[in-house]
Amino acid sequence: MSTTNNINSAKEKSTTFADPDYNSSAYDAYLYAYHASHSSSFSTALDIATGTGYIAKELSKTFKQVYATDISQNMLSSASSSPNIQYSVSSAEDLSQFQDSTFDLVTVGQAAHWFDREMFFKEAWRVLKQSGTLAIWGYGYHVVDGYPTASKKMLEFGSKTMGNYWDQGRVVIENLYRDIVIPDELFRNIIWERHEFDEKEGKMKNGESFVNQEWSVDRLKNYMKTWSSYKNYMSKYQKENQKIEDPIDKLFEEIKKDEEWKDDQILKITWPSVLALAEK
């Protein structure tokens, strides 16, 4: 098995973060405006590492035909169906099932940190039409709007308490893809849009993130329990037959007391995010 397949098999078993919905209206408007600035064609799109097809479903509302790939057949078996979406198994680095200059748009959501990026960029460039658009986006640890102290505690919990239990690739996305370089010998008009949390100011900067939700306190706690780091942490101690206090339950009991939160209280949750756009 290749290195690529090993990485993507790990992704299937234990993702870096569970997947909250992104603000599709804001994201789509920004992405489509960029694409329309250099191309009038909204015919074909390809979503790579599509997972269960959330982005592909959104693209299908605008593009005539959408293709979506993932390394995991298990993920694709749960994908959202649509008459103009065609799913197939493929790694990001081998798109040989598609001919040169096929797509107006190629997208990757919350997955580029898993790729052999040199191979991926070459393949993305090959399958894009001239003046086609490449879009890559991802998100980091969440924050709670209006609660800077609680946000800092959750950030510290994710990065430090759970730090050694995250899977490979976490550091790249936590840094909002600053370690990724889109090759300018292949692409032009490269734009990086980042929305991140200013810990000193206790709020988001650079405008509102594309990834946000309104969740109850209890829903947020359950979301954090989907983290691969939490599952790895609990699994380690269960294998050692050690009885431990659930770290997320403990964290939330402390924050609920400090902030006077109730389980059903609705919070606005925001994920610092990054969006990269490039033209072929």
Q: For residues 118 and 91, is the Cβ–Cβ distance under 8 A?
A: no
**134-158: average pLDDT:** 93
Burial 52-62 (b: 16+ CB within 10 A, else e): bbbbbbbbbee
- Domain 3-140+170-198+271-279 fold: Rossmann fold (3.40.50)
pLDDT at 20: 56
Q: Angle 225-142-221 (CA atoms, 0-180°, nearest 5)? A: 30
Q: Which two tokens stand for residue 161?
A: 């308490």
The answer to whether residue 104 scores a pLDDT higher than 60 is yes
The distance in angstroms from the start CA to the end CA of the chain is 31
Secondary structure (3-state) at 228: helix
Determine how many CB atoms are found less than 10 A away from the CB of residue 166. 22
pLDDT at 24: 61
The answer to whether residue 140 scores a pLDDT higher than 70 is yes
Mean pLDDT rounded to a whole number for the chain: 88
| H or E segment and range at residue 28 | helix 24-36
Q: For residues 224 and 248, is the Cβ–Cβ distance under 8 A?
A: yes
pLDDT at 208: 75
The fraction of the chain above a pLDDT of 90, given in percent, is 69
What is the per-residue pLDDT across 43-77, written as a single tens digit (0 to 9) for each?
999 999 999 898 999 999 999 999 999 999 998 99
What is the per-residue pLDDT across 179-235, written as a single tens digit (0 to 9) for each?
999 999 999 999 999 988 887 777 777 777 778 889 999 999 999 999 989 999 999
- pLDDT category of residue 27 using cuts at 50, 70 and 90: confident
User: Which residues belong to CATH 3.40.50.150 in the chain?
Assistant: 3-140+170-198+271-279
**100-113: average pLDDT:** 95
